[in-house]
Chains A and B, each alone.
Chain A
């Protein structure tokens, strides 16, 4: 904690010290004019905010034994808690910069990537979610090894590392942009200063604290968006004024099909809506960990429903509104002969609009920028930790087989973290050389890296005949062809023409998004071709790992045949809990409760503390034993300990299946 605080202070000092020396040279990129001394106030607020969030994480982090226990083996949390923790993951703090710029350039069309996920939800809710939940896989590579073989597992590790490294570079780049927008310091100085903080987080901190701080960050990010939205509406004179001054072509939630090569409806739908949405829901380790923490698949579906139907539209507004408001302000200002703000570079749309609608209030501005920067760093921190975890568990332990001490693995993890940060810094250099908006910079890399893997996951889950040979060939060849399409973009044109996504003659096509569909198509074609000429896998090898054998997956999960009989009641609450060794690792329910819930012996039962607001932190899933005498629920001491349940407390019980 002290070391982290020292790192924050050191980084802020670097920024403060760098400012006077660099200001003159960088005045061309500076978008807002902070009053003298204000940079120090903003940076001090940032430092205080960091310390506050770290303290929160330290306090609440003590309640989790470790991340493994919290996320994986839990399977005990209700949907609402999991949904709440998805906010920070779903928004992605860099989103404020990226979508504010897109909102300014394209209007409400910037929401398209947030509002096109529902089309793949049947595949997720009834396919991928039950498969990963019941098979108890902890990561995509693990699924690949069980569904295919070790080769596919390691191919996926390479792809996932590429995906995360790209995100680390992108996040560092956006951190640099955000600080540049506030202080005028160059991207490189900002990024290097932030790397000191991130290094301290990763080296001396832990993931547990990050998990809890993510809950706070989510609230803060929504608050930041709300401040901009409300402040902007007040500045403009109300919602009617906002809508009235927004040009009509900026109001439509869907951009023209293909005339805008950067954000056409056709290429956004196929590239992001299909390939991207599958990647986000099927591949994102952060989301997968959260879905694995829910107490049942039905709770997972509720979390997915709440996330996609309510949180994503809300998030779309929160992250984009600065751009829409900025556009309306510019239009209104032009009509009245005013210039509300100077925006030489739309990268800084969010900071500039925020600064303007807050009437240059340095304290509110500092608080929101602190929330934004802290969330950006939290995202990078999580990504670097994930790289280290994959590097140690999937690569180092596998290829350096001599067992070593935990201290040794920790040292290796730190070296991998440092290497991942270094690669991220190299990517920052790459981003600074690319001429594109943040939206296209993001997808330019992601749509090269993920399509082959997304397709293999999809085919593996939904096509039992798809085998290991086909998966290996498809992943290698699909990735290679997709990479080569950067050199030969004309390969994409026939696919783009087919779905009417190519822009009209005379407009240069931009395949940053659409490359996702191209990658999916070529990988699927190769995979299908190889599958049809090679033997199909033995059914017993893939049982429970495809959508066609979910009953087997449920039986494996439960350790017996599922019982789908409906009871008179869904949950029985207010029962006394008694520690009784006769339970023997099972839960013994009163006969009446068993009848009400239609529970038979060996059915899976969820026992939770009766206080709903504990969110299932004190709960356990166990098979049912014989009916208990009396009216109390009986558990042995070990089961009480496992679920952190306290004897003599009231509990509620529910049949899982």
Chain B
């Protein structure tokens, strides 16, 4: 086993508090704009928080060179990841919109 080099801690020392701040602050910001029971609040909550997790994932795979443009297909797969995020966001957005757009037939 070898001793860790202290400079490697620097990115984490900046990134971890920034992420925690975003995770704490974004939901409160959303609620102050849209209300805790707002029709669109859960949608933006999920895709803001999910966006943070997803963004960290994209950053990690680029920084580690697990996703490397030098390898055939990696650039396309990176684009697929982003399109997948947009696909799910679009799917949820359409359903959320439809929920309110069609009148309820009951009392």
**Mutual binders A and B:** yes
Q: Which of A119, A258, A548 contacts B57 (CB 8 A)?
A: A119
Q: Which of A122, A256, A266, A547 contacts B37 (CB 8 A)?
A: A256
B91: chain A residues at CB < 8 Å are 115, 253, 313
> B49, A269: Cβ atoms under 8 Å?
yes
> B1, A536: Cβ atoms under 8 Å?
yes
Q: Name A223-259 residues within 8 Å CB distance of B.
A: 241, 243-248, 251-259
Tell me, yes or no, whether A108 is within 8 Å of chain B by CB.
yes
* Residue among B41, B45, B85 with max Cβ neighbours from chain A (10 Å): B45
> A462, B60: Cβ atoms under 8 Å?
yes
Please name the residue on chain A nearest to B1 by beta carbon: A535
| Min CB gap A384→B, angstroms | 35
Tell me, yes or no, whether A309 is within 8 Å of chain B by CB.
yes
B104: chain A residues at CB < 8 Å are 244-248
> B1, A335: Cβ atoms under 8 Å?
no
> B45, A125: Cβ atoms under 8 Å?
no
B18: chain A residues at CB < 8 Å are none
Please name the residue on chain B nearest to A274 by beta carbon: B53
* Contact A257 to B45, CB < 8 A, known contacts A127-B60, A313-B91, A499-B23: yes
Tell me, yes or no, whether A6 is within 8 Å of chain B by CB.
no
Please name the residue on chain B nearest to A553 by beta carbon: B66
> B72, A566: Cβ atoms under 8 Å?
yes
> A121, B27: Cβ atoms under 8 Å?
no
A interface, size bucket:
35 or more
Please name the residue on chain A nearest to B102 by beta carbon: A243
| Min CB gap A607→B, angstroms | 20
* Residue among B23, B46, B49, B91 with max Cβ neighbours from chain A (10 Å): B46
> A248, B31: Cβ atoms under 8 Å?
no
Please name the residue on chain A nearest to B74 by beta carbon: A126
Q: Which of B8, B28, B53, B72 contacts A500 (CB 8 A)?
A: B28
Please name the residue on chain B nearest to A255 by beta carbon: B42
> B54, A119: Cβ atoms under 8 Å?
yes
* Contact A547 to B50, CB < 8 A, known contacts A245-B106, A252-B96, A313-B91: no
A298: chain B residues at CB < 8 Å are 73, 77
> A301, B66: Cβ atoms under 8 Å?
no
B1: chain A residues at CB < 8 Å are 467, 534-538
A531-B28 Cα distance, complex, nearest whole Å = 33
Tell me, yes or no, whether A423 is within 8 Å of chain B by CB.
no
> A126, B4: Cβ atoms under 8 Å?
no
Chain A, residues 365-400, CB within 8 Å of chain B (1/0): the string is 000000000000000000000000000000000000
| Min CB gap A261→B, angstroms | 14
A539-B27 Cα distance, complex, nearest whole Å = 40
| Min CB gap B101→A, angstroms | 10
A462: chain B residues at CB < 8 Å are 60, 64
Q: Name A265-300 residues within 8 Å CB distance of B.
A: 265-266, 269-270, 273-274, 298
Tell me, yes or no, whether A616 is within 8 Å of chain B by CB.
no
A537: chain B residues at CB < 8 Å are 1
Q: Name B7-51 residues within 8 Å CB distance of A.
A: 8-9, 23-24, 27-28, 31, 36-37, 39, 41-43, 45-46, 49-50
> A536, B36: Cβ atoms under 8 Å?
no
Q: Name A502-555 residues within 8 Å CB distance of B.
A: 504, 532, 534-539, 547-548, 550-551
A259-B37 Cα distance, complex, nearest whole Å = 8
Chain A, residues 601-621, CB within 8 Å of chain B (1/0): the string is 000000000000000000000
| Min CB gap B69→A, angstroms | 10
A111-B91 Cα distance, complex, nearest whole Å = 12
Q: Name A402-430 residues within 8 Å CB distance of B.
A: none
Please name the residue on chain B nearest to A655 by beta carbon: B72
Q: Which of A126, A257, A532 contacts B77 (CB 8 A)?
A: A126
A253-B27 Cα distance, complex, nearest whole Å = 19
* Contact A254 to B46, CB < 8 A, known contacts A535-B3, A537-B1: yes
Q: Which of A251, A335, A499 contacts B106 (CB 8 A)?
A: A335
> B66, A547: Cβ atoms under 8 Å?
yes
Tell me, yes or no, whether A34 is within 8 Å of chain B by CB.
no
B105: chain A residues at CB < 8 Å are 241, 244-245, 332, 335
B49: chain A residues at CB < 8 Å are 269-270, 499
Please name the residue on chain A nearest to B39 by beta carbon: A252
B31: chain A residues at CB < 8 Å are 257, 500
B53: chain A residues at CB < 8 Å are 119-120, 274
Chain B, residues 68-107, CB within 8 Å of chain A (1/0): the string is 0011111001001100110110011001101110111111
> A125, B81: Cβ atoms under 8 Å?
yes
B contact residues vs A (CB 8 Å cutoff) = 1-4, 8-9, 23-24, 27-28, 31, 36-37, 39, 41-43, 45-46, 49-50, 53-54, 57-58, 60-61, 64-67, 70-74, 77, 80-81, 84-85, 87-88, 91-92, 95-96, 98-100, 102-107
Closest 4 CB pairs between A and B?
A122-B57, A535-B1, A254-B42, A251-B99
